[in-house]
Amino acid sequence: MKKRIVDSTRYQTYFNCPTERRWFTEYKGRGITLSSTNVDMLYGLAVHNGCEMMAVGHSFVDAWNESVLILAQIPSDMRTPDGHWVGDEYQALLYGHLRIYEEYILPKIKSEYKIIGVEQEIVIPLTKDLSYCTRVDIILQEKNGGLYFVPNYKTSSYMNDLLLNSKYSTQLMMEAEAARHALKTNITGSIVIGFDKGQKRGVSDTEAKAGKVGKRLMSPFVYCYMKGDDPWLENNQVSVDYKYGWSRVPIWSTFSYEDWWDKVPERIKLGSYSILPPIYHDPEFVEDIKKQIISVEERIANDPTFLLPMNLHNCTQHAGYMHHNCPYIPLCHDREFPEDLIGGMYKWREINHPHEDDLVAHPEYEEE
């Protein structure tokens, strides 16, 4: 087998659908992805970056200034139903979540754990030809007990499902395994810190008849409600909760981020995040997972053009989410030729890990 790497995304994609995995990472040695911007992925990166910076000692201002630059990648033509740039929604949300981390989450972490900075890409050799890549930014050690944990930051619109989705996560298990390699000591498990993004809601019937399209990010850090049209309102005429007859207003159009932060009630702030109980990983089970990863990757390496089995449920329930279509439907069902769509619907997959070019044979694709 030629030298290969695997990561949590590659492995999970295989279980979504082996054919999706083929298009995503194996096609012509590189794989192809949608050209459109994944805004939620960018937002997750921005939150993760800001939290990690503050955890290792950077100020909120520095963390905010660097993290908000990630959201600048959101295309300017991505608009809400009201014509606002989608990036404005996510920047407002980011400010709220990073302030939550600074004022509520980080003090709690520091009171219970010692923060050990790692900040490195870690390569775990699985076989002589196969390596698992992941990144560990910080590790937490209990002040009472001395156990080690790896924190993981999650942004979600479905906070009630966070524990269930995290408890048996290959990503979390392998991050803990990577931390064990970095520290040369046992890592007990993971601590998931979740941020509530709020629901994305489409336009009402009335708005649709008026020609409006798109969705809004309904979070109290993004929109508020006001009585009347006068922007110079008293505190009792603005609310984070919907009130009949009041107008929905984007907070950045009337307030500074900090002014709005001061107006958001404590109950909203406390309800905007969750620190899950520690998730403990069984070392023997992690070893079993590593064997499964090796088995899957050897199969792919021995037959890189495989098409079957194709998981047809994944076509319209992508990654388990109802009404989410797989990005590769045109290739599987419409028989489109991938390279005809490069530069349009698709682009060549970008490298995710610094070691990818060293551990993977040179891709057979040609950049446009």
Nearest alpha-carbon partner for 156 in 61, 272, 266:
272
pLDDT digits (tens, 9 = 90+) for 95-107: 999 999 999 999 9
- Could you tell me the CA-to-CA distances from 140 to 95, 150, 194, 315 in Å, in that order? 25, 6, 17, 39
Helix axes 8-16 and 170-183, enclosed angle (nearest 10) = 160
pLDDT average, residue stretch 167-187:
91
Nearest alpha-carbon partner for 117 in 172, 173, 166, 54:
54
pLDDT digits (tens, 9 = 90+) for 291-343: 999 999 998 888 766 666 889 999 999 988 777 899 999 999 998 998 899 98
Enter the pTM of the model.
0.89
**How far apart, in whole angstroms, are the C-alpha atoms of residue 2 and residue 240?**
56
**How far apart, in whole angstroms, are the C-alpha atoms of residue 324 and residue 334?**
18
In the three-class reduction of DSSP (H, G, I as helix; E, B as strand; rest coil), residue 259 is classed as helix
Q: First-to-last CA distance in the chain?
A: 29
Q: Hunting for tokens 């998730």 — which residue is that?
A: 279
Quote the tokens at residue 354.
């610094």
Which residues fall within 8 angstroms of residue 126, CB to CB, at 6 or more apart? 6, 132, 290, 293, 294, 297
pLDDT digits (tens, 9 = 90+) for 15-47: 899 999 999 988 888 889 999 999 999 999 999
350 has a pLDDT exceeding 80: yes
pLDDT digits (tens, 9 = 90+) for 198-216: 999 998 898 899 999 999 9
For residues 216 and 201, the answer to whether their CB atoms sit within 8 Å is: yes
Quote the tokens at residue 209.
């008849």
264 has a pLDDT exceeding 90: yes
pLDDT confidence of 232, banded at 50, 70, 90?
Answer: low
CA torsion, ordered 141, 143, 146, 149, to nearest 10 deg:
-30
Q: Strands 199-202, 279-280: parallel, antiparallel or unpaired by DSSP?
A: unpaired
Q: Hunting for tokens 């994305």 — which residue is that?
A: 200
Q: Strands 279-280, 273-275: parallel, antiparallel or unpaired by DSSP?
A: unpaired
User: 227 φ, ψ to 5°?
Assistant: -95, 120
Residue 27 DSSP label: G
How many H helices and E strands in the chain? Answer: 15, 14
Quote the tokens at residue 248.
């929905």
Tell me which of 231 and 95 has the higher pLDDT: 95
